[in-house]
Amino acid sequence: MSEITFKIDKVEVKGKSGQTIMEAADAAGIYIPRLCTYKDLIPHGSCRVCTVMVNGRPQAACTQPIAEGIIVDNETETVKEIRKDIIDMLFVEGNHYCMFCEKSGNCELQALAYRFGIMSPKYPYLFPKRDIDASHPDIFIDRDRCILCGRCVRASQQFDGKNVLDFVERGTEKRIAVNAETNLAETDAAGSDKMVEACPVGALLKKRVGYATPIGQRLYDHKPIGSEIENK
Amino acid sequence: MATNLETLKKDVVDICKKCGNDRTKMMDIVRAVQKKYGCVSSEAMDMIAAEVSTHRIEVESVVSFYTFLSEKPKGKIVIRVCDDIIDKMANVACIDDTFKKELGIEFGETTPDGKITLEHTPCIGMCDQAPAALVNDVVVTNLSSDKVKEIVKTLKETGDPAKITHRHGDGINSNPLVHSMVRNNIRKSGDVIFSEYNEGVALKNAINQSPVEIIRTVKASRMRGRGGAGFPTGMKWEFTRAAEGNQKTIICNADEGEPGTFKDRAILTERADLLFEGMTIAGYAIGADTGILYLRGEYAYLREYLEDVLNKRRANGLLGNNICSVKKLGIFGKKSSINFDIRIQMGAGAYICGEESSLISSCEGLRGDPKNRPPFPAQKGYLGTPTSVNNVETFCCVVKIIEKGAAWFSALGSQGSTGTKLFSVSGDCKAPGVYELPFGITVSELLKEVGAQDTMAVQMGGPSGTLIGKEDFGKKICYDHLATGGAVMVFNNKRNILEIADYFMEFFVEESCGFCTPCRVGNVLLKKKLEDIIDGNGTPEDLDYLEKLGNTVKAASRCGLGQTSPNPILTSIKNFKPVYQKLVKPADDGMNPTFDIAKALGQSEAIAERKSVIFDTV
């Protein structure tokens, strides 16, 4: 693989051909915010939080391959505003109860809002009516908190070798559905499935283990999301 | 019930078998089941999944994506009244009322006997003869209350939508295989598409050249894609030809779903051979042996005719194996080694499928979600093969380029936009219809041509294009100044700009596939704020809010839909700012004007059985 040199926010970065901008940035210790991307999963390009400017044009860093000499903007005001807008959209689109959500402190959406200094979204809440599926003995789906990133869909296929979930409907009606007529209990989903931990928010949760980590010891209690990459 | 399930099973097995139990033919399978049963039921989904060896959820995912498919049962007859802005202007509200009254049901409902379902649908490509509707595959146009009464009566008596067509439209619409009342309204024929067609001449020229020479000629003509984006056709073909892969694919995008567009309808009806000849030349040029015509579900009435044209071409040796080597034609004589055939892929009601990568997804039997780029279709498209997706009109132009030469073509039109362009003109003008005019004419000239008076605004290129006012009527229509895929909606000074923008936003909210956040959520938020302004609850800051939000949606969306969907709002703010300014007012009391205290307290007041002490509301 040949080496490719390019710039992210004026910092020279070296990557290998075939890498995406995000992969090369990760390796260089530069954090590009993301939600629908998850380690070892095929990039989805759906959340658009990783939007960067490549030679002045917006692109998703998770799917855009690096190229020699490209100029990538990651931390400019324009890019940050776009990301804030998208994070805001995800908050108002669903019903997110951070104050009593089991995922609080470990939630990537919440952590991103903190990193971007978002105290409350600037858009009006849409208050959708969405269904809960608590039929399965070990897992429940709370679509109120789903951000439609598709990580569970891909994790079930790629990690678990199953096809427990997929998207149905489209547009504002789009939602996660199970590979069965009625509910999750009818599928071959298991509590140990990797798809559960792949969820960045509290939409897919393991039963009976909520709030196990005390406040102060949760993933993002002390350091903002992205530190794991920046402090590598 | 048991016997019903057995019949269903037998039918599903048959349908799947006809489609080779091929998962990538999912669209054909579910369309066939929908046609036979009025739905793709939960049981049917399980059966289909078993037959084509996939997961049930994948079938459900596809069925729930397309509006012409449904899990819930619909009537054997589905009436879909087109409610786009042009139909609204043609008083479709009155047509709606008559349908409701005659059928005794509301929109979204099915008659108690389960026979007829009534729905609305966005643009069906009949804006030049609005109000219009689809009755299953049958198109009914220029509707009046009396016509509606007659239609409902016939449907109730015969149960056969084919019986409602009494008078045929112009040209090939009277062909028994089309049997349609649609009029193509070709008002102006130009030098390229609707000029005299010398069948086979271009194909003969092409085959006597090398593919590289053909691509060189197309490049020299400076031909750009007619779908609207204007990508140089020759370059697209060159990329596809150069891409690695033994198999390559040519796809014709006949999913013209942009509201206000119907030019491809005219080509598909009157110049089908020209189109197929263009696809064949393209196939030879890029080295493809597969061609797909992706036909929008709304144009299903043309399918049988188009299949017949394809069959005739096969019989004449113009499609299939070793094409153009049949001696009896006397034009080619020698045996060619060129194999190329075309199949028709029907869509099922999804605007997003006009986006080339969504269209490819749909051809592969998937949801019409756009794909990530790169890889571009030219590198990896249909089933992984290098694919060139071109517009209907583009293929037709190429035939004339190959027949008459690049120099001839590039002498037409303007420097950066060569050739002629088909315009689908509708709205407030004397002669709505299809006009073939050279690129570079001004908006004023076009308006004069179509007999438009007191024009206030023109929507160039449909909702995803630009809403322009008088100041821009002197502009030239071409890729460099005022680009368009061909839709021209004319609005006179009695029309309401914000109502138009609001309708277009509603369209985009409905048609967003929902894959990416900015398009899925951003369009809803844009529409909400526009509604606030229309309701008189807007503040001057809201214009800034709309522009910022609109720009985020444009910048961050994954495909062309979201990258253009804020245009109705952004271009109307730009070109009709006074209309907005008249409606917005500063919130002097510091309160959020969209917050209605009386409404917010209503429920609590009802429970408490008394008025609020602080906010004594009515």
pLDDT tens for B381-409 read 999 999 999 999 999 999 999 999 999 99
Kindly determine whether residue B57 and residue A126, on different chains, have CB atoms separated by under 8 Å.
no
Candidate from A45, A147, A166 with C-beta closest to B372: A45
Domain membership flag for residue B599:
no
Same domain, B95 and B192: no
Interface test with A, best of B52, B505, B520, B563 (most A CBs within 10 A): B520
Both tokens of B488, joined, read: 């021209």
Q: Which residues contact B17 (CB under 8 A, 6 or more apart)?
A: B51
In tens, the pLDDT along B350-360 reads 999 999 999 99
Average pLDDT of span B152-160: 96
- Number of alpha carbons in the 13 Å side-chain half-sphere of residue B519: 31
pLDDT at B1 over 50: no
Distance in Å, alpha carbon of B137 to nearest chain A alpha carbon: 23
Give the ranges where B353-434 is alpha helix by DSSP (H): 356-363, 392-404, 406-410
Could you tell me the pLDDT band of residue B598, with boundaries at 50, 70 and 90? confident
Of the ranges B440-444, B537-541, B610-614, which one carries the lowest mean pLDDT score?
B610-614
- The answer to the question of residue B486 being in a domain is yes
| DSSP letter (8 states) at residue A8 | E
User: Is a pLDDT exceeding 70 seen at residue B333?
Assistant: no
The percent of residues in chain B predicted with pLDDT above 70, rounded, is 97
Beta-bridge partners for B422: B436
pLDDT band at B335 (very low <50, low <70, confident <90, very high): low
Least Cα separation, residue B57 to chain A (angstroms)? 5
Residue B454: CATH number of its domain = 3.10.20.600
Same domain, B378 and B440: no
Both B458 and B532 in one domain: the answer is no
pLDDT of residue B337: 80
Does some domain include residue B553? Answer: yes
- Tokens representing B326 are 């049949």
| Mutation for testing the B interface, residue in A80, A83, A89, A201 having most B CBs under 10 Å | A89
From chain B, which residues contact A within 8 Å (Cβ)?
A: 42, 46, 55-58, 60-61, 64-65, 350, 352, 367, 372-374, 509-518, 520-522, 524-525, 528, 548-549, 552, 555-558, 594
Q: What is the greatest pairwise CA distance in chain A? A: 53
Does domain A13-76 match CATH 3.10.20.740?
yes
Average pLDDT for B67-72: 96
In a domain, residue B440? The reply is: yes
**A102 CA: distance to closest CA in chain B (Å):** 24
Strand, helix or coil at A176? strand
Quote the CA–CA distance of A47 and A34 in Å, as a whole number.
8
- Which residue, among B58, B66, B48, has the nearest Cα to B347 in the 3D structure? B66
Whether B69 maps to a domain, the answer reads no
Q: Which residue from B56, B65, B522 is facing A179, i.e. has the nearest CB?
A: B56
With b for 16 or more beta-carbon neighbours within 10 A and e for fewer, the B226-242 pattern comes to bbbebbebbbbbbbbbe
**Average pLDDT over chain A, rounded to an integer:** 97
Q: Where are the domains of chain A?
A: 13-76
* pLDDT over threshold 90, residue B614: no
Mean pLDDT of A64-89: 98
Say if residue B3's pLDDT is above 70: no
Cβ contacts of A169 on chain B, cutoff 8 Å = 64-65, 514
Return the amino acid letter for B243. Answer: A
Q: Is residue B617 part of a domain?
A: no
Q: Quick check: B377 and B390 in contact, CB under 8 A? A: no
Q: Is the pLDDT of residue B328 over 60?
A: no
The residue range of the domain holding B309 is: 188-404
CB B81 within 8 A of CB B133: yes
Would you state the pLDDT for residue B334?
58
Which residue type occupies B117? T
Q: Within this chain, do residues B515 and B439 fall inside the same structural domain, yes or no?
A: no
Whether residues B208 and B321 share a domain: the answer is: yes
CB contact under 8 A, B520 and A174: yes
B514, A174: Cβ pair inside 8 Å? Answer: yes
Residues B321 and B343 in one domain: yes
**Burial readout B243-263 (b: 16 or more C-beta within 10 A, e: otherwise):** bebeebbbbbbbbbbbbbbbb
Q: Closest chain B residue to A59 measured between Cα atoms?
A: B556
Quote the ipTM score: 0.97
Quick one: B236 and B347 in the same domain? yes
Name the one residue in this structure whose structure tokens are 């139990």: B21
Q: Within a domain: residue B603?
A: no
| Mean pLDDT of all residues in B296-301 | 97
pLDDT exceeds 90 at position A232: no
Amino acid identity of B232?
Answer: P
**Do B61 and A166 count as a contact with CB atoms less than 8 A apart?**
yes
Instruction: Provide the number of structural domains found in chain B.
Output: 5
| Spatial CA neighbour of B207 closest among B333, B23, B372 | B333
* CB-CB under 8 Å, A48 with B55: no
Q: Is the same domain home to B271 and B291? A: yes
* Residues of B in Cβ contact (< 8 Å) with A37: none
Nearest chain A alpha carbon to B376: A64
Residues B247 and B381 in one domain: yes
Contact A86 B513 (CB under 8 A): no
With a pLDDT cut of 70, the percent of chain A lying above it is 100
SS3 assignment, position B180: coil
Task: Say if B152 falls within a structural domain.
Answer: yes
Query: What value does the mean pLDDT of chain B take?
Result: 94
CATH number for position B525: 1.20.1440.230
Q: Do B514 and A173 touch (CB under 8 A)?
A: yes
Nearest alpha-carbon partner for B330 in B197, B199, B196, B195: B199
Is A179's Cβ below 8 Å from some Cβ in B?
Answer: yes
- Does residue B530 contact residue B502 with C-beta atoms inside 8 Å? yes
Nearest-10 Cα torsion for A180, A182, A186, A188: 40
Q: Element (H or E) spanning B141, and its range?
A: none
Among B116, B131, B166, residue at a domain's last position:
B166
Same domain, B158 and B236: no
DSSP result, B309-370: HHHHHHHTTSSBTTTT--GGG-S--SPP---BEEEEEE--S-GGGGSHHHHHHHHTTS--PP
Q: Give burial (CB, 10 Å; 0-12/13-18/19+) of A161.
A: exposed
What CATH number is associated with residue B139? 3.40.30.10
